[in-house]
Amino acid sequence: MSEEIIKFKVLKIFGPQIIKTRIPKIIIESMNNYTLEVLNNQKKSKELDAGNTLAGNVTQEFLLEESWIKNSGWLNFLYSLSNDVMKILLKKEIKQFNITSSWIVRQFQNEYNPLHNHSGHLSGVGYLKVPSNFGDTIQKKDAFRNKNGQITFAHGSKQFLCDATIDIIPEVGDLYLFPSYLLHAVNPYYNSNEERRSVSFNAIVDENISQNV
């Protein structure tokens, strides 16, 4: 394992914390190549299909094979990131880190992912492909209020000086790490035939750490 600290920043100070970092370019390229491999192999597409077990109303969701997760560097990267985060936030080192599942989500215009949470202790979502334009809103709202194609995290209710939601514009290479119970949803987008492609994962960590997540 590399001793180099992975750069990240905390997006929320109170309540569940969301960690933002960057996926190494080599892993992004590998994931996109793997996606093409699955798309061109009808048998593999069927074997890895996870659409019936996941929340999304999207074109395709398929699992990453366990061997690929290990050999591609995806597992090592997520372990190193999670361990660095826990050292800084909780002053604890991860002894157990198991990815229970990781999958690719292929979303196109008019599709969405409803409000849901994940299993395990830690989850994350990263972006592999993003449309150049998510389209206008029906009422032609300004860019700040146009939530097309964005991911929304929700927790609790709005209070004084504290919002209950945070909306994030996806950008290729960005990865967000968060506790698995944190509710989130993905909005549909319009006027684009381009794909919005993301990767997600669920992981289990040590009990003495997960009780603080």
pLDDT tens readout for residues 42-71: 999 999 999 888 889 999 999 999 999 999
Domains observed in the chain: 9-210 (2.60.120.620)
For the cut 90, the answer to whether the pLDDT of residue 193 exceeds it is no
pLDDT tier, 9 (very low <50, low <70, confident <90, very high otherwise)? confident
Structure tokens at 39: 């798309």
Phi, psi of 135, rounded to the nearest 5 degrees:
85, 165
Q: What is the mean pLDDT of residues 75-95?
A: 94
What is the arrangement of strands in the sheet containing 183-186, beginning at the earlier edge strand?
113-116, 183-186, 151-154, 165-168
CB 127 within 8 A of CB 176: no
pLDDT tier, 138 (very low <50, low <70, confident <90, very high otherwise)? confident
Q: Say what the pLDDT of residue 89 is.
A: 87
For the cut 60, the answer to whether the pLDDT of residue 157 exceeds it is yes
Higher model confidence: residue 35 or residue 13? Answer: 35
Q: Say what the pLDDT of residue 11 is.
A: 65
The separation between the first and the last C-alpha atoms of the chain, rounded to the nearest angstrom, is 23
For the cut 80, the answer to whether the pLDDT of residue 14 exceeds it is no
For the chain, give the number of residues.
213
Residue type, 64: L
- Over the chain, what is the mean pLDDT? 91
CA angle 213, 77, 19 (to 5 degrees): 40
Cα separation, 202 vs 182, whole angstroms: 12
Residue found by looking up tokens 């989500």 in the block? 105
Higher model confidence: residue 127 or residue 2? Answer: 127
Cα separation, 126 vs 170, whole angstroms: 8
Please give, one letter per residue, the 3-state secondary structure of the chain.
CCCCCCCCEECCCCCCCCEEEECCHHHHHHHHHHHHHHHCCHHHHHHHECCCCCCCECCEEEECCHHHHHHCCHHHHHHHHHHHHHHHHCCCCCCCEEEEEEEEEEECCCCEEEEECCCCCEEEEEEEECCCCCCCCCCCCCHHHCCCCCEEEECCCCECCECCEEEECCCCCEEEEEECCCEEEECCCCCCCCCEEEEEEEEEECHHHHCCC
